[in-house]
């Protein structure tokens, strides 16, 4: 849960201590660097502070909080209330040679024939191995067609691709790393996605992690089936 308020967090912590824990406001103002224990907060006061903070921000205050200043408590709450960034890693083994898998999956202009979720791919710019493009998805259950601009750079020497969203939409950022490895059964293709959602997004980092993991499994299975069918038909160029 992200801390969001028009007031400084130190002010909110001070108000909790004054309202719920018996802290004298003037004493706190005269000694801003003092620990809670030095401000006279006993174990019962710290328990009350912990209960209010847990209810308001879903953050647990450690037993040693009495040694912290008000600013120290505010910093602890801010750090623990910030959600961890999103991270997913999904892979599939495709029964086809790496050059074929590399060629097909990096032909961005034809992604509508490779993925089931994209309705339109528009190449905006291409310089060397870097391509900037707009993706438009098929309409969702509400009839909305989501669209955004991404950029990806392929490195044929290392068989890796780095991509990111240029138009981030509900994301603070979205970065994608594609890896290709030769394995005994063909080619392992791995997608690693690192991201964070904006506070205004309709889903948080954990929720988007679940969505990406579920969707990646579906799309990787589709890509596997389509490339293996292509390989079985003799298209290995």
Closest CA to 37 of 53, 26, 49: 49
Q: Which CATH code fits 9-81?
A: 1.10.1200.10
Map out the domains of the chain as residue ranges.
9-81, 86-232
Q: Give the residue-averaged pLDDT of 129-134.
A: 98
Answer for the pair 176, 192: CB distance below 8 angstroms, yes or no. Answer: yes
Tell me the C-alpha distance between 163 and 177, whole Å: 6
Write the DSSP string, 171-192. Answer: EEEEEEEEEEEEETTEEEEEEE
| Lowest mean pLDDT segment, chosen from 57-61, 86-90, 149-153 | 57-61
Closest CA to 178 of 84, 85, 92, 86: 92
CATH number given to 86-232: 3.30.530.20
Which whole number is the average pLDDT over 6-23? 88
Residues 198 and 172: their CA atoms lie apart, in Å, by 5
Q: What totals of helices (H) and strands (E) does the chain contain, helices first? A: 6, 7
Sorting pLDDT into bands at 50, 70 and 90, what band is 225? very high
In this prediction, residues 53-61 reach a mean pLDDT of: 83
Averaged pLDDT for residues 178-196: 96
Least confident of 34-38, 74-78, 87-91, 133-137: 74-78
Query: Which of 60-69, 99-108, 200-209 has the largest mean confidence?
Result: 99-108
The pLDDT of residue 83 is above 80: no
Q: At which residue do the structure tokens 């909080």 appear?
A: 65
Q: Report pLDDT digits (tens) over 148-170.
A: 999 999 999 999 999 999 999 99
Give the tens place of pLDDT for each residue, 19-42.
999 999 998 899 989 999 999 999
Q: Which residues pair with 165 in a beta bridge?
A: 150
């Amino acid at each position: 849960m992200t801390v969001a308020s028009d007031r400084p967090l130190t002010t909110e912590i001070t108000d909790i201590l004054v309202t719920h824990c018996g802290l004298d406001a003037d004493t706190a103002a005269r000694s801003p660097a003092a620990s809670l224990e030095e401000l006279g907060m006993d174990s019962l006061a710290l328990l009350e502070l912990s209960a209010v903070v847990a209810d308001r921000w879903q953050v647990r205050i450690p037993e040693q909080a009495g040694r912290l200043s008000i600013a120290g408590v505010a910093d602890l709450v801010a750090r623990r209330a910030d959600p961890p960034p999103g991270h997913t890693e999904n892979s599939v083994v495709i029964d086809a040679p790496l050059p074929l898998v590399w060629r097909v999956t990096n032909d961005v202009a034809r992604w509508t024939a490779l993925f089931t979720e994209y309705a339109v791919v528009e190449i905006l710019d291409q310089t060397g191995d870097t391509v900037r493009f707009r993706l438009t998805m098929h309409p969702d259950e509400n009839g909305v067609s989501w669209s955004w601009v991404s950029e990806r750079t392929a490195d044929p020497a290392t068989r890796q691709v780095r991509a990111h969203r240029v138009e981030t939409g509900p994301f603070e950022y979205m970065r994608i790393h594609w890896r290709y490895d030769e394995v005994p059964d063909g080619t392992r293709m791995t997608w690693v996605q690192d991201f964070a959602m904006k506070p205004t997004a309709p889903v948080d980092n954990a929720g988007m992690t679940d969505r990406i993991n579920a969707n990646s499994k579906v799309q990787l299975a589709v890509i596997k089936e389509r490339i293996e069918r292509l390989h079985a038909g003799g298209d290995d160029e």
